[in-house]
Amino acid sequence: MTGTGMPWREARGVGDRGEDRACDHLVKLGWEVLERNWRCPEGELDVVARDPRGGLVFCEVKTRRSTRFGFPVEAVGVDKARRLRRLAWAWLEAHGQRGASFRIDLIGVLLPRDREAELEHLEAVA
């Protein structure tokens, strides 16, 4: 079980569907998705992308089925933002781009069972 009472496998499936929606959204905006679910000892980056202006963007995707515990974007606090920056620096180091400029975006996806998905994209959150 996860902290939400949802079995882990089901929660992972919800998260995967949210990331699929987020990537579809980015591609429709003209972005190039460079990598998904990049892992290192420090953790995982959901999506690494390049925006149409050539900017490198690390996207954290938060997905929920309802707003019962708040909106998806509310799940990222100060500690998570710090961790995302550390993960971004680790990605840059691993890809020989140390010191490159980047930004971190947050994409919240709401996947209710009874209506269309909703997506909120916040730029430069961390």
**What pLDDT is stored for residue 9 in this prediction?**
58
Q: What is the pLDDT, as a whole number, of residue 64?
A: 86
What residue segments make up the domains of the chain, in order of their start? 8-122
* pLDDT for 90: 97
> What pLDDT, on the 0 to 100 scale, is given for residue 12?
67
Domain covering 8-122 in this structure, CATH number: 3.40.1350.10
pTM of the model: 0.85
Distance separating alpha carbons of residues 103 and 121, to the nearest angstrom: 13
- Which residue is listed with tokens 């089901």? 10
Helix (H, G, I), strand (E, B) or coil at 61: strand
Q: Which DSSP string corresponds to 15-47?
A: HHHHHHHHHHHHHHTT-EEEEEEEEETTEEEEE
pLDDT of residue 85: 95
Q: Give me the pLDDT at residue 26, please.
A: 97
pLDDT in tens, the chain (126 residues): 455 555 655 556 777 888 999 999 999 999 999 999 999 999 999 999 999 999 999 999 998 887 777 777 777 778 888 999 999 999 999 999 998 999 999 999 998 888 888 899 999 987
Contacts of residue 14, Cβ cutoff 8 Å, sequence gap at least 6? 6, 63, 64, 65, 111
Question: Distance (Å, rounded) from C-alpha 81 to C-alpha 77?
Answer: 6
